[in-house]
Amino acid sequence: MTLLAVERIKLFTTRSPWWCLLTALTVTVGLAALITATAEADFPLTVEVTQFGRMFGLMVVMVMAALAITTEYRFSTIRSTFQAIPNRTAALLAKTLVVALLAMVIGELAAFGSFGIATLIQPEANLAISSAADWRLVAGTGLVYGLSAVLAVAVGVLLRQSAGAISVLMIWPLLVETLVPVIPRVGDDIAKWLPFTAVDQFLAGPTGNPPLSPWGSLAYFAGVCVVLLAAALVTANKRDA
Amino acid sequence: MTLLAVERIKLFTTRSPWWCTLIALGVTVGFAALMAGTAEADVPMTVSASQFGYGFGLVVVMVMAALAVTTEYRFSTIRATFQAIPNRSAALLAKTVVVALLAGVIGLLAAFGSWGVATMMTPDVDLAINTAFEWRAVAGVGLVYAIAAVVAVAVGILVRHSAGAISLLLIYTNLVENLVTLIPTVGPKIHQWLPFNLAHHFLTGNPDPTGRPDQFGPGLSDATVGPWPAVAIFAGFGLLMLLISLVVANRRDA
Amino acid sequence: MIEAVGLTKRYGKTLAVDNLSFTVPTGRVTGFLGPNGAGKSTTMRMILGLDAPTGGSALIDGKHYRDLHQPLRTVGALLDAKWVHPNRSARAHLQWMAKSNKINPKRVDEVLDIVGLTSVANKRAGGFSLGMSQRLGIAAALLGDPQVLLFDEPVNGLDPEGILWIRKFMHRLAEEGRTVFVSSHLLSEMALTAQELVVIGRGKLISQTSTEDFVAQATENTVRVRSPHLSALRTALGRTGVSLRDEGDSLVVTGMDCAEIGELAASTGAVLHELSPQRGSLEEAFMQLTGDSVEYHAGLAETIDLVAAGK
């Protein structure tokens, strides 16, 4: 608990988490407002439509999570951290947990905020979170943001540089995962097992012929995040701070 | 010319441009090899299919271009620069030109490298570059990378932080432009005028009818202007961004 | 010559530099003295055209920095030794600077030699110690063989040998007829290095004088007298109207020099055991002068008064 408090203090005494929180919420909720306001008869409003800014919020959250650790390396505060808490695994796990929790809160706020503003702008659309799929779509955003933050922290620990970590974290889901299906023959088979494709299967799926159920997809994504985190912790323990 | 030489020295005496060049070439040519290696009769290799990976090189080049200026701010060497060259517009323009030229060269190497590797791996397919479309699809990559580098330098000058500039550039090019299309009614109308969509249109628009069927590849651009006007608008966007960034840099304390 | 006229810089509500006017003469080492946060670095950045003044102007030989042709040939500056890309070698750093002002590339090796960095010229600057970085910064300042040199806190982090080297070096630059402007928050260092002083506090000019005058004016000149006939001496001195302070077995006299006191003692027949001129510490004098204007110690004077008054 002490370590969590330490990391909470560290996170909230710099400006970047506040900026990221604000940006993530403004953009997701703002996009939901925009899309609801312009929706019309031939483009009916659904719960899924209200969530269309989720990828944007996800990117912002991953940037925040990566920066939470890469800035420690940049300003060498990671040395002060390891000096105060020589158990590096514990220190980094505490940081991961705090960042992931914040990411989860941002995710829930963004998802329910987007849904809320849509019902306000178009009350006659009778939007309601009723089915299990609807709940997964909206409430699941928090889980996805939280896990993605773990992934981003892991990448941050491994690369130690803001520019590198952010590039990898943006390019992978936005570009690599969209280009893989273009590869003839094997492309689609590989794409099924890509982590952010699994995220889509969890939130918006099942679409196509996924190898896993929605919750199975989320578990798979969580598995990828945990493996990366473990690799990051092993590296951080072996490396000179 | 002196200022260009200065920026050339500055760029090539750090490691990041070398890394970025290597990575950009590796991913684009590697992706072309992957495409060629898995091509089959009903998904044939074409000239444009050899360039499907240009987006990878594009983001790497933009990251490099943004870093070329944000690292100057991070290490305060921008102050040493403005001390040596008090004409800030001249200093920053020289940097932009050098970075854009490097980006253009990377683009040409990546494009012709991708085409070359595809030609070698599928010798029985005719991959000769004949039509205007095919020339644009390959050689045009150099032009697009160079203009994208100008945009990235401008954003770097405006934002000054590596993390911020890179996030902004990558999220905008790979996410925002695509999300715009989802906005009902006005979305597609806006989207066809967005800069990176126009760049994509320049490279993939007006395809040769003998080429690969549309469904086997990244989607075609929905832009309605011709390919050359499209790239002209893209270039205009780059220049506008650069102009704004120069005005800001001249007004701001270094 | 550097000339500041009504130089002012405001950051939001904070007035970092307040209507500052001074001149830095040619052929002398001029110290720019003030406590931390007094506005020294901001002033230097404005002289170099890096920061735009809110008001007033700073001129070098009558010109704004931005209007200088090939400015490194006129003005060399070391403002912060860390303004170097860590992955760039020392030589590459100097090479691009030389190129930018059309300075002969041979000059790069010359200045590396002057500052003694030849052996590490191809090493990345990020691995340099503070002292080495400082030397690289000085090499960059010397690159254009400029007539005007600015150094911001150049001895920070240097070992005694390095400090001595810089001091002698700046003297030599001034003897060659150059204008040398060097900032410091340490009066003791400036007293040894500078011939002229520009003293500021809270962004305002406190004084511009020669170092000698400043020290003489700032430090109270007193004479300590010890004598077995102290009470007789006290009476005699008291009649002359000088101010006296009792310190146990000695008297501290202000306003009379040793010769006068010696004659007075002889005429009263008092035996003297000690007659020595006292100089107040430079640091005390500096504190006294800038005391009210130390940004981060506001209220210190009041505290001392309260303590002295036994409250």
B196 part of contact set with chain A, CB < 8 Å: no
pLDDT at B63 (0 to 100)? 94
CA distance B58 to chain A (A): 11
SS3 A13: coil
Average pLDDT, chain B: 89
Alpha helices (H) in B172-254, listed in sequence order = 177-180, 186-191, 195-204, 227-251
Interchain proximity C95–B13, CB inside 8 Å = yes
First to last CA, chain A: 24
SS3 B240: helix
Chain C residues inside the 8 Å CB shell of B83: 48-50, 71-72, 77
- Burial readout C112-121 (b: 16 or more C-beta within 10 A, e: otherwise): beebebeebb
Q: Is the pLDDT of residue B117 over 90?
A: yes
pLDDT at C305 (0 to 100)? 47
Beta strands at C55-60 and C2-11: parallel, antiparallel or unpaired: antiparallel
Interface test with B, best of A28, A166, A200 (most B CBs within 10 A): A166
Interchain proximity C79–B79, CB inside 8 Å = yes
pLDDT at A126 (0 to 100)? 74
Give the integer Cα–Cα distance in Å for A202 and C198: 70
B206 phi, psi to nearest 5 deg: 45, 55
pLDDT at C269 (0 to 100)? 86
For residue C280, the one-letter residue type is G
Interface of B with A in 95-134 (CB under 8 A): none
For residue C63, the one-letter residue type is K
Beta bridge partners, C14, equal C11
pLDDT at B102 (0 to 100)? 95
A185 part of contact set with chain B, CB < 8 Å: yes
Beta strands at C179-184 and C29-33: parallel, antiparallel or unpaired: parallel
Helix count and strand count (H, E) for chain A: 12, 0
Beta strands at C148-152 and C75-78: parallel, antiparallel or unpaired: parallel
Tell me whether 0.90 is exceeded by the ipTM: no
A82 part of contact set with chain B, CB < 8 Å: no
pLDDT at A82 (0 to 100)? 85
CA distance A234 to chain B (A): 26
Interchain proximity C85–B77, CB inside 8 Å = yes
Could you check whether the bond before residue C53 is cis, i.e. omega within 30 degrees of 0?
Answer: no
How many residues in total does chain C contain? 311
Interchain proximity B86–C51, CB inside 8 Å = no
Q: Which band of pLDDT confidence, cut at 50, 70 and 90, is reported for residue B209? A: low
Interchain proximity B86–C95, CB inside 8 Å = no
Separation in Å, CA C227 to CA C161, C253, C261? 43, 13, 12
Give the integer Cα–Cα distance in Å for C291 and C199: 12
pLDDT at C218 (0 to 100)? 64
SS3 A102: helix
Minimal-distance CA residue of chain A relative to B27: A176
CA-based nearest residue to C152, from C71, C55, C39, C18: C39
The architecture that CATH gives domain C2-217 is 3-Layer(aba) Sandwich (3.40)
**C-alpha A59: how far from chain center:** 7
Interchain proximity B83–C45, CB inside 8 Å = no
For residue A162, the one-letter residue type is S
Q: Between the ranges B125-129, B188-192, C7-11, where is the mean pLDDT highest?
A: C7-11
pLDDT at B46 (0 to 100)? 84
For residue C236, the one-letter residue type is A
Interchain proximity B167–A63, CB inside 8 Å = yes
Interchain proximity A38–B184, CB inside 8 Å = yes
Query: How many other CB atoms are found less than 10 A from the CB of residue A58?
Result: 27
Minimal-distance CA residue of chain B relative to A41: B184
Cβ proximity of A202 and A140 under 8 Å: yes
Contacts of B21 (CB under 8 A, 6+ apart): B64, B102, B106
B63 part of contact set with chain A, CB < 8 Å: yes
Burial class (CB in 10 A: 0-12, 13-18, 19+), C176: exposed
For residue C163, the one-letter residue type is I
Sign of torsion over alpha carbons A222, A228, A230, A233: negative
Helix count and strand count (H, E) for chain C: 11, 13
Beta bridge partners, B125, equal none
DSSP-based helix, strand, coil % in chain B, nearest 5? 75, 0, 25
Give the integer Cα–Cα distance in Å for C248 and C226: 10
Sheet hosting strand C243-247, strand order edge to edge: C243-247, C250-254, C221-226, C274-279
What is the CA angle A178-A184-A187, rounded to 5?
A: 45
CA-based nearest residue to C29, from C145, C198, C206: C198
Spell out the per-residue pLDDT of chain C, length 311, in tens: 899 999 999 988 889 999 999 999 999 999 999 888 889 999 999 999 888 899 999 999 999 998 898 899 999 999 988 888 888 899 999 999 898 888 999 999 999 999 989 999 999 988 898 888 989 999 999 999 999 999 999 888 788 888 898 899 999 999 999 999 999 888 888 888 899 999 998 889 988 988 888 877 666 667 888 888 888 888 888 888 787 888 878 888 877 888 888 888 888 888 888 888 876 666 666 766 666 554 444 344 444 444 445 44
For residue A28, the one-letter residue type is T
Cβ proximity of C194 and C182 under 8 Å: yes
Cβ proximity of B138 and B57 under 8 Å: no
CA dihedral defined by B104, B105, B108, B110, rounded to 10 degrees? -110
CA distance A204 to chain B (A): 16
Separation in Å, CA A104 to CA A12, A57, A147, B204? 16, 11, 8, 40
Q: Where are the domains of chain A?
A: 2-238
Cβ proximity of A47 and A132 under 8 Å: no
CA dihedral defined by A217, A219, A222, A227, rounded to 10 degrees? -110
pLDDT at C285 (0 to 100)? 65
CA distance B254 to chain C (A): 5
pLDDT at C281 (0 to 100)? 60
Which residue ranges of chain A lie beneath pLDDT 70? 41-42
DSSP single-letter state for residue C225: E
Give the integer Cα–Cα distance in Å for C5 and B88: 24
SS3 C184: strand
CA distance C43 to chain B (A): 13
With residue C232 as reference, give the H or E element that holds it. Answer: helix C230-240
Q: What is the CATH number of domain C220-279?
A: 3.30.70.980
Chain B residues inside the 8 Å CB shell of C65: 86
CA distance B137 to chain C (A): 37
Give the integer Cα–Cα distance in Å for C252 and C170: 38
More reliable by pLDDT, B183 or B170: B170
B77 part of contact set with chain C, CB < 8 Å: yes
Interchain proximity B179–A162, CB inside 8 Å = no
CA distance C189 to chain B (A): 27
Of B71, B84, B254, the CB nearest to C51: B254
Q: Where are the domains of chain C?
A: 2-217, 220-279
Beta bridge partners, C124, equal C89
Of B163, B167, B183, the CB nearest to A38: B183
A56 part of contact set with chain B, CB < 8 Å: yes
First to last CA, chain C: 51
pLDDT at C295 (0 to 100)? 45
B75-95 residue pLDDT tens: 999 999 999 999 999 999 999
Query: How many other CB atoms are found less than 10 A from the CB of residue C310?
Result: 5
Cβ proximity of C65 and C48 under 8 Å: yes
CA dihedral defined by C132, C138, C143, C147, rounded to 10 degrees? -170
| A-to-B residue pairs, Cβ atoms closer than 8 angstroms | 96
Cβ proximity of A191 and A103 under 8 Å: no
Give the integer Cα–Cα distance in Å for A228 and A205: 25
Contacts of B152 (CB under 8 A, 6+ apart): B61, B62, B63, B64, B65, B66, B165, B169
Interchain proximity B86–C49, CB inside 8 Å = yes
Rg over alpha carbons for chain B, rounded to the nearest Å, is 19
Chain A residues inside the 8 Å CB shell of B171: 56, 59-60, 170, 174
Interchain proximity B86–C82, CB inside 8 Å = no
List chains adjacent to chain C, taking adjacency as at least 3 C-beta pairs closer than 8 Å: B
Rg over alpha carbons for chain A, rounded to the nearest Å, is 19
Interchain proximity A171–B34, CB inside 8 Å = no
Interface test with A, best of B61, B69, B166 (most A CBs within 10 A): B166
